[in-house]
Each structure stands twice: as C-alpha cells, then as structure tokens.
Amino acid sequence: MPLLDISPWLFLVLTLAAFVAGFISAIAGSGGLIILPVLLGAGIPPLHALATNKFQSVFGTLSSALNFLRKGHIDLGNMKASLCYAFIGACFGTLAVQQMDPEWLRRLLPPLLIALALYVAFSPRMSDIDSEPRWSERHFDPVIGGGIGFYGGFLGPAMGSFYAVAFSSLRGFNLRKATAHTKPLVLITNTTSMVIFMLGGYIIWPLAIAMAVAQFVGARFGSQMVIHRGAALIQPVLVVMIVLLAIKLMVFP
C-alpha cells in the first residue's frame, strides 16, 4: 500500500495511536488491541497491517525492556532457554499465519481471555509479593516460551498478557517482575516475526518508522509507571485490556 494513500491527518492519528499503544503495552502487554484495529480501519491490508504493527511494536517493547533492565528488574542470565524457545516458536508461528486462516484461534480466544481476566482479578498471586513456583524452568521454558512465542508469531493479541500471567502463576513472580520479564520474550518474538514479514515486503516503511518512534516514547513512560506503582497499576489495567480484547474479538472479529 503506497504511503500516498495515507493522508497527513491519518498519518498523525496512527502515530498518536502508537504512542498510546506503547504506553499501555508497557503496562499490560496488549498494545495490539489498539494498533491493529486502527491500521485495518485505515484500509491497510491485513498482512501489511500485521507487518507494520510488528515493526513498530518491536521498538516499544525494546524501550520498556531497556528501562526495566537498566533498573535491575530483569535477569537475562536465567532467560536464555526461554528466549531460544520463543524465537523458534515465533518462526513457526509467523510462517504458519501466511499459510493458514487464523479464524479458528480467533473463535477460541474470547473465552480464554475472559478466564484469564478473572484469574488476574481474583488470584492472590497477582500481587507485589513473590510466591512459590509451580513449574520449574525446565518445563516453563519450552511450553510457555515456545508456545506463546508461536502464538505471538501466528496472531499475537495479548501475547504480553499471557506471558505476564504465566510468570506470576507458574514461576511465582510478583506482577512487577513478571511484567518486566515478559519484555525480552515479546521482543524476540516480535523481532523474529518482523524480520520474516520484512523479507516478504509487507512493511509500510515511512509509517512504520514514525509509529516506532512514538511507541518507543510511550513505552518509556509506561514502564516508568510500572516500576513506581507495581501491582496497583498493572492488575486493573491488565484486566481491563484483556476484557476489552475479548469483547473486540466477539463483536468485531
């Protein structure tokens, strides 16, 4: 889709949407709920919208990941295996979405998301206090790292939310720590997907670059709020974004 088809006002709206998505995604990991409908509503073809979304979201995730890492909230040394599995899963997922119709997954997502929102709202593990791990890294890394990595490459909405809840419920991380540790996994998943889309020629470059800058700035503000406010901020935003995504998929699939 040529950039000439996008008016200056629409270009500005999409860039502002990227800033908001970066801010929200740094907190709750559901920025795609904002960006994908806006891109599709602007008349951008689905694969181009997915590709452009992946490109700009990479920079938002990079911004928040760097901020969390710099403040000491991410232990990359213990994430090597999960990052490798996420990379492999994302490769297969991105290749699969170009060959298959993801409609079956869209139909399955709303009830899963409602259940996820209820868990986040009422589970005592969703707090600022670490809890006892239920899964070891040996089980968590391939199943969660690789499985959600595949989902991220294949479809992607709420990928960060799934990772955050998995870290809290299965590894016992507090919500601040869980949110921080989702960022490297989301980053490698989206980067892998972005490169494959890039090779396919689907990214709308001028728009993607402008949105990437806006995402980077928005995510920096969002990650700062996570560091300062913790579960008191993350839990309600996470619930709201998951429920909104479930409603969106049911009403506007």
User: Alpha-carbon dihedral of residues 131, 151, 47, 15, nearest 10 degrees?
Assistant: 0
126 three-class SS: coil
Please name which of 192, 194, 220 lies closest in space to residue 205, comparing C-alpha atoms: 194
- Separation of CA 216 from chain center: 14
In this predicted structure, what is the pLDDT of residue 253?
65
Determine the number of helices (DSSP H) and then strands (DSSP E) in the chain.
11, 0
In this predicted structure, what is the pLDDT of residue 4?
43
In this predicted structure, what is the pLDDT of residue 114?
93
In this predicted structure, what is the pLDDT of residue 31?
80
123 three-class SS: coil
Residue 126 phi, psi dihedral angles, 5° rounding? -85, 75
Angle subtended at Cα 58 by Cα 103 and Cα 16, rounded to the nearest 5 degrees:
90
d(CA 33, CA 21): 8
d(CA 163, CA 169): 10
d(CA 66, CA 170): 24
Kindly give the residue spans of alpha helices, DSSP state H, lying in the chain.
8-28, 32-41, 46-70, 80-97, 103-122, 137-140, 147-154, 159-170, 175-199, 205-229, 231-251
Contacts 24+ apart (CB under 8 A), 129-133: 129/174, 130/172, 130/173, 130/174, 130/177, 131/168, 131/172, 131/174, 132/172, 133/170, 133/171, 133/172
**H-helix or E-strand spanning residue 122:** helix 103-122
Which amino acid, residue 19?
F
d(CA 70, CA 65): 8
Instruction: Mention every residue, 6+ apart, whose C-beta is less than 8 A from residue 3.
Output: 204, 206, 207
Q: How far is CA 58 from CA 86, 172, 212, in A?
A: 15, 27, 8
Angle subtended at Cα 50 by Cα 64 and Cα 221, rounded to the nearest 5 degrees:
20
DSSP percent split of the chain into helix, strand, coil, nearest 5:
80, 0, 20
pTM of the model: 0.88
Residues of the chain with pLDDT below 50 are 1-4
